[in-house]
Chain A
Amino acid sequence: MTDVEPEPVLTVRGLSTEYATDRGQVRAVRDVSFELRRGERLGIVGESGSGKSALALSILGLIEPPGRTVAGEVWLNGRDLRTLSEARLNRIRGKEISVVFQDPLTALNPVRRIGPQLAEAITMHQDVGRAAAKQAAIELLDDVELPRPADCYRRYPHELSGGMRQRVMIAVALANAPDVLIADEPTTALDVTTQAQIMRLIDKVVDERGTAVVLITHNMDLVADFCDTVQVMYAGQVVERGRREQLLSGSAHPYTAALMVSVPSLDTDRAAPLRSLEGLPPDLAVEHTGCALAPRCVLGRERERCRSESPAMTAVVGDAAWVSRCHFAGEQHRLTMETTP
């Protein structure tokens, strides 16, 4: 390893996405920017509804009406996906960037066999014959440690357990050895033992291929185990980003600090409210002034500046890679250091 950081494979700039609802425009992703370097593992955490999935779909260009990505750039391997035609995007999705979704039970087409659903991911992007694609698919099923892969190839989705189906989905996502894998809560729908197995599997297969990963999760333990960098989202915005150790031990944003103490280590109850934060996340359909967290924030509730002035992303302690969207980032950082054992 050299000291020079590898160049970014994915660069997101100013990405914003809105959904049209009966209550008006819900801005689910707000001006999100970040870089992902080759082989990097970025964790994205945040409460339910903070816009994590919307961000993932926006990156892939798969926001469907009534939603629309209204602004931003998504640079992947040197081109801005937002400016490309649908036809060109179809050649990039699944090949250079792919995704594993949360619920493996519904992610496979119930009336089609597993094998063809995997093999087509290969034939769509590689110029190979049917037999070769089938062979490659069976090898992939073997790679994701499914027992008797040739037999699995002929099975229907309902004949496989949730964990096995998620293995299939991982095989689908990695079929063309993409540069970027987005995993949107890949283990949330699985039981605890299976969760651990699936994470070990993802760890292994991305390591072999050098794939950069965006791991979306509620589970701080997963972040601690798996990720190099962490990005925290609140109300559609990124509120803090930094290296794993920095955020886990010395967070410089009140929301991150609250997440650290409240998220149960094994996240089964997704709806668990954040203990140290009172109230609910803001209504994304109305524009608010000041910091989005202010009404709930221990630090900012009483402070005029937090209520009137929207904070910008600022470096926390000279390290440009560690940024926080808080007027009082330094104060929060000291607070966190004092309170964490």
Chain B
Amino acid sequence: MSRFLLTRALGAALTIVGASIAGFVFMRLLPGDPARLIAGEHASDEAVELQRQALGLHEPIWRQYLMYVSDFVTGDWGFSYSRGEPVFDQFVNALPATLELAFVAVGTALTASVLGAVLATWSRGGVVDGLVRASSYVGLGTAPFWLGLLALIVFFERLSVLPGPEGRLSPGVAAPLRVTGFHLVDALLAGQWSTWWDAVQHVLLPGLTLGFVLYAWLVRMIRASMLEFVREPYALVARSKGRGRWAVVTRDVLPNALLPAITASGLIVAELLTSTVLAETVFNWPGVGRLVTDAILQQDFAVVQAFIMLSAFVTVTATVVTDVLYSVADPRVRVRAT
């Protein structure tokens, strides 16, 4: 098992290095001169040249890369000229907002997709199954930002039951004292009920929009494997023992069907990353996604570069964690891994 872990970790580290090199080279190949951008459009050539020296742009590219990486791991992610702040601080401030959104989205998506897949399998070809499939098609076939806009039009403009795209809290509502960075948690800790309720209302639309996109993915996958496993002899054996149809689906089929879902969760994290960027933009959510889209528009390379590094890290880590989880969850793999 430890050898298995070691090889996985090593492979992951190599992948992250590869991705960071690719990202670094790509950023350098992009048109636009970072030194000129930072120094300003009307700066003298000398000033630009000085800035270039300061950024180390004269060094050979491999040297630049090594410098960047060694700075990166020590927490020096560069300086964001567009906001006049260190990049690292910006991410630290934006991350809780994104994570809060992601937790709400993943939580609802997991619950809804497991429930949906179980109901679909139980009704197999019936009305419920049809509804679940239809909902999955809608989620898969619609762009997340479009879904977000639609949700805003319906719940904010027409029905006025939920707040519009104004971020995490209503204007004028002060953020609760920062403990975890999650407003939903911090407001509770501070005992500020009205702030908490305000945060809930604000996270609902972006969270559910994002959750729905994930749900569409997940429910399709879980349903497909459940329909496969429900035809397995052990499901029939369970029935012949006297277990009812519902119990067979939830207790015998579901645990088997969740295994392929675990395998796909690396992909889900990647999907979540891209969808979050879009959802944050639509809902004006001050998270990492918004940070990056703003940075791209401003050609603020340092931020984008850091985002590429982080995405590679998160995606690869998720994949490794997935593999390890899978090997723990599936007794058949567990043996081979030791």
Interface, chain A (partner B; CB < 8 A)? 60, 62, 65, 86-87, 90-95, 98-99, 101, 103, 106-112, 120-121, 124-125, 156, 158-159, 169, 172-173
Chain B's interface: helix, strand, loop or mixed, by majority? helix
Q: Does B141 contact A (CB under 8 A)?
A: no
Contact A106 B232 (CB under 8 A): yes
- CA of A60 to CA of B237, assembled, Å: 11
Contact B237 A101 (CB under 8 A): yes
Contact B335 A95 (CB under 8 A): no
- CA of A92 to CA of B241, assembled, Å: 9
| B124 surroundings in chain A (CB, below 8 A) | 65
8 A-B pairs, CB-CB below 8 angstroms?
A107-B237, A109-B252, A111-B256, A111-B329, A121-B241, A124-B243, A125-B242, A158-B331
Q: How far is the CB of B263 from chain A (nearest CB, A)?
A: 14
Q: How far is the CB of A258 from chain B (nearest CB, A)?
A: 31
- CA of A60 to CA of B238, assembled, Å: 13
Contact B239 A62 (CB under 8 A): yes
Check A111/B330 contact, CB under 8 A, given A65-B125, A106-B234. yes
> Count of B residues near A, CB < 8 Å?
24
Q: How far is the CB of A98 from chain B (nearest CB, A)?
A: 6
Check A124/B332 contact, CB under 8 A, given A107-B233, A109-B256. no
Check A120/B236 contact, CB under 8 A, given A110-B332, A111-B331, A112-B255. no
| B232 surroundings in chain A (CB, below 8 A) | 106
| A107 surroundings in chain B (CB, below 8 A) | 233-234, 237
Most B CB atoms within 10 A — which of A65, A111, A112?
A111
Q: How many A-B residue pairs have CB under 8 A?
A: 73
Contact B244 A86 (CB under 8 A): yes
Interface, chain B (partner A; CB < 8 A)? 124-125, 232-234, 236-245, 252, 255-256, 259, 329-332, 335
| B236 surroundings in chain A (CB, below 8 A) | 62, 101
Contact B233 A90 (CB under 8 A): no
Which residue of A has the minimal Cβ distance to B247?
Answer: A90
Contact B331 A110 (CB under 8 A): yes
From A65, A121, A156, A172, B331 is in contact (CB under 8 Å) with: A156
Q: How far is the CB of B77 from chain A (nearest CB, A)?
A: 43
Check A95/B242 contact, CB under 8 A, given A111-B331, A112-B255. yes
From B233, B259, B329, A103 is in contact (CB under 8 Å) with: B233
Check A110/B234 contact, CB under 8 A, given A156-B331, A156-B332. yes
From A91, A101, A124, B233 is in contact (CB under 8 Å) with: A101
Q: A98-B240, A109-B252 are in contact. List 16 more A-B contacts (CB 8 A).
A: A65-B125, A86-B244, A90-B243, A93-B240, A94-B240, A95-B242, A101-B233, A101-B236, A107-B233, A108-B234, A108-B237, A109-B238, A120-B241, A121-B241, A121-B242, A124-B242
- CA of A94 to CA of B243, assembled, Å: 9
Contact B245 A91 (CB under 8 A): no
Which residue of B has the minimal Cβ distance to A113?
Answer: B331
| A124 surroundings in chain B (CB, below 8 A) | 241-243
- CA of A172 to CA of B239, assembled, Å: 12
| A109 surroundings in chain B (CB, below 8 A) | 234, 238, 252, 255-256
- CA of A65 to CA of B227, assembled, Å: 13
- CA of A124 to CA of B251, assembled, Å: 14
- CA of A155 to CA of B241, assembled, Å: 20
Contact B335 A111 (CB under 8 A): no
Q: How far is the CB of B252 from chain A (nearest CB, A)?
A: 5
- CA of A159 to CA of B256, assembled, Å: 17
Which residue of A has the minimal Cβ distance to B330?
Answer: A111
Contact B240 A60 (CB under 8 A): yes
- CA of A111 to CA of B240, assembled, Å: 19
Q: How far is the CB of B325 from chain A (nearest CB, A)?
A: 13
Q: How far is the CB of B47 from chain A (nearest CB, A)?
A: 66
Which residue of B has the minimal Cβ distance to A172?
Answer: B241
Q: How far is the CB of B124 from chain A (nearest CB, A)?
A: 7
- CA of A327 to CA of B243, assembled, Å: 45
| A98 surroundings in chain B (CB, below 8 A) | 240-241
